[in-house]
């Protein structure tokens, strides 16, 4: 299902029946992509090299029928051959050194307000689960959905399994969460920044375009959705 980590399993109380979904890249992490930064970090530290670039290219060819966006966002070929434990440790140190100070303070305040009201907060992103887990732990969020990496012989294969969190894939993932929590789309609040998130925003009872790109901004304005800006 593309679930990076299971939810607590508890139902949301009738007093606070909202499911609040936060995108990460461009939203809680304004102006950049965590995974893009992570890849550059791996290159700088010489953790990835020529073989990893080849793996990325090969995986890109396999994803080509799905389109350019999938070639870039769903391509985890550079991780092929690394153990989950190794990448998890590198990811945690990278998060502490390069990411924490870039998370939007306004975004943190908004997320905390929802938690304090008793809303069920969910993080949703296409980054690998070992990276997304750091955001969840830092923000105190128990449920998060990211790229679930395929593992074979205790090593990443460079492929993902389940529904990939992109465009309509995000809709499918949240639909699964709604069934789990006995909620409907009208009970959902979404914060997202990208044009491809329009499918998710169109479903939500309370959609908010955050730091929207030009195309999403146009869609938001035509639908009278709130537009907000989360900065660092």
Q: How many domains does the chain have?
A: 1
Residue 115 has pLDDT above 80, yes or no: yes
pLDDT over threshold 90, residue 17: no
Its sign, for the CA torsion 168, 173, 179, 181, is negative
Q: Is pLDDT at 144 greater than 60 in this prediction?
A: yes
* Mean pLDDT, rounded, for 94-114: 97
Interval 135-164 mean pLDDT = 97
pLDDT-based confidence at 3, cuts 50/70/90?
very low
Residue 186: what pLDDT?
Answer: 96
How far is the C-alpha of 140 from the C-alpha of 187, rounded, in Å?
Answer: 21
In a domain, 3, yes or no: no
**Residue 14 is assigned to a structural domain of this protein:** no
DSSP H helical ranges for 65-128? 68-73, 84-94, 105-117
Q: Is residue 7 situated within a structural domain?
A: no
Q: Which residue has the higher pLDDT, 11 or 199?
A: 199
- What's 126's DSSP letter? E
The confidence score (pLDDT) of residue 11 equals 38
How many angstroms separate the CA atoms of 53 and 42, rounded?
12
Give the integer Cα–Cα distance in Å for 152 and 130.
16
Residue 13 has pLDDT above 60, yes or no: no
Per this entry, what is the length of the chain?
232
Residue 112 maps to a domain: yes
Q: What is the band of 16 on the pLDDT scale with cuts at 50, 70, 90? A: low
Whether the pLDDT of residue 92 is over 50: the answer is yes
Residue 1, domain member (yes or no): no
If pLDDT is split at 50, 70 and 90, which confidence band does 206 have? very high
**126 found inside a domain:** yes
Could you tell me the CATH number of the domain that includes residue 166?
3.40.50.1000
Q: Is residue 72 part of a domain?
A: yes
Which of the two residues, 7 and 37, has the higher pLDDT score? 37
- The answer to whether position 11 is within a domain reads no
What is the per-residue pLDDT for 232?
75
Contact criterion met (CB below 8 Å) for 148 and 3: yes
* pLDDT tens-place string over residues 170-188: 999 999 999 998 999 999 9
Kindly tell me if the per-residue pLDDT of 14 is higher than 60: no
- The owner of tokens 């465009």 is 167
- pLDDT band with cut points at 50, 70 and 90 for residue 137: very high
For residue 128, the model assigns a pLDDT of 97
Which pair of tokens denotes residue 15? Answer: 């007093």
**How is 155-187 classified by DSSP, letter by letter?**
EEEEEEES--SSTHHHHHHHHHHHHHHT--GGG
SS3 label, residue 120: strand
State the chain's mean pLDDT as an integer.
Answer: 92
Q: What pLDDT score was predicted for residue 15? A: 58
State the residue range of the domain holding 53: 19-228
Mean pLDDT of the region 71-82? 94
Residue 228 has pLDDT above 50, yes or no: yes
The contacts of residue 57 (CB under 8 Å, 6+ apart) are 77
């Amino acid at each position: 299902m593309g679930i990076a980590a299971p939810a607590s399993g508890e139902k949301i109380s009738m007093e606070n029946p909202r499911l609040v979904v936060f995108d990460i890249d461009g939203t809680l992490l304004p102006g950049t992509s965590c995974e893009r930064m992570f890849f550059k970090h791996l290159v700088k530290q010489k953790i990835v090299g020529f073989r990893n670039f080849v793996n990325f290219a090969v995986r890109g060819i396999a994803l080509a029928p799905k389109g350019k966006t999938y070639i870039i966002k769903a391509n985890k070929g550079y991780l092929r051959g690394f153990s989950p434990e190794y990448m998890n440790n590198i990811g945690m140190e990278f998060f502490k050194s390069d990411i924490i100070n870039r998370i939007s303070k306004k975004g943190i305040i908004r997320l905390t307000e929802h938690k304090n009201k008793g809303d069920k907060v969910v993080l949703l992103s296409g980054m690998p689960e070992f990276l997304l887990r750091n955001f969840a732990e830092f923000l105190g969020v128990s449920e998060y959905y990211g790229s679930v990496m395929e593992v074979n012989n205790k090593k990443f294969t460079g492929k993902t399994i389940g529904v990939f969190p992109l465009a309509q894939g995000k809709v499918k993932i949240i639909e699964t969460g709604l069934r789990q929590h006995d909620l409907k789309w009208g009970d959902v609040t979404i914060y997202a920044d990208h044009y491809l998130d329009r499918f998710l925003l169109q479903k939500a009872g309370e959609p908010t375009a955050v730091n929207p790109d030009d195309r999403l901004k146009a869609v938001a304005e035509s639908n009278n959705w709130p537009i907000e800006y989360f900065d660092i």
